[in-house]
């Protein structure tokens, strides 16, 4: 499998409303941290995740987290 592009070495911290989201796993999206279809033609697929109630989250932008789509601090060792 290909290596993802590191979109940023810090997470996207944001407040999300309840709903279904699609995390960009390839790092090529122009709508980081969410998928915009830029993965087409690669080994990557977006990760669907659901938010049940409004909350602040830290979404991984380095694409190396072990807990996708959430940041686990992996960017500190890149």
Q: Which pLDDT belongs to residue 2?
A: 87
Classify residue 17: in a domain, yes or no: yes
Classify residue 2: in a domain, yes or no: no
Residue 42 is encoded by which pair of tokens? 């690669």
Number of domains in the chain: 1
Q: Which pLDDT belongs to residue 72?
A: 98
Classify residue 18: in a domain, yes or no: yes
Classify residue 51: in a domain, yes or no: yes
Q: Which pLDDT belongs to residue 58?
A: 98
Classify residue 5: in a domain, yes or no: no
Classify residue 67: in a domain, yes or no: yes
Q: What is the full per-residue pLDDT of the chain (78 aa) written as tens digits?
A: 689 999 999 999 999 999 999 999 999 999 999 999 999 999 999 999 999 999 999 999 999 999 999 999 999 999
Question: Burial of 68 by CB count in 10 Å (0-12 exposed, 13-18 middle, 19+ buried)?
Answer: middle
Residues of the domain holding 46: 12-77
């Amino acid at each position: 499998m290909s290596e993802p592009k590191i979109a940023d070495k810090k997470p996207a911290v944001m407040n999300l409303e309840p709903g279904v989201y699609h995390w960009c796993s390839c790092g090529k999206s122009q709508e980081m941290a969410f998928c915009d279809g830029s993965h087409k033609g690669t080994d990557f697929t977006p990760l669907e995740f659901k938010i049940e109630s409004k909350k602040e989250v830290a979404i991984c932008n380095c694409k190396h987290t072990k807990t996708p789509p959430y940041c686990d601090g992996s960017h500190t060792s890149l």
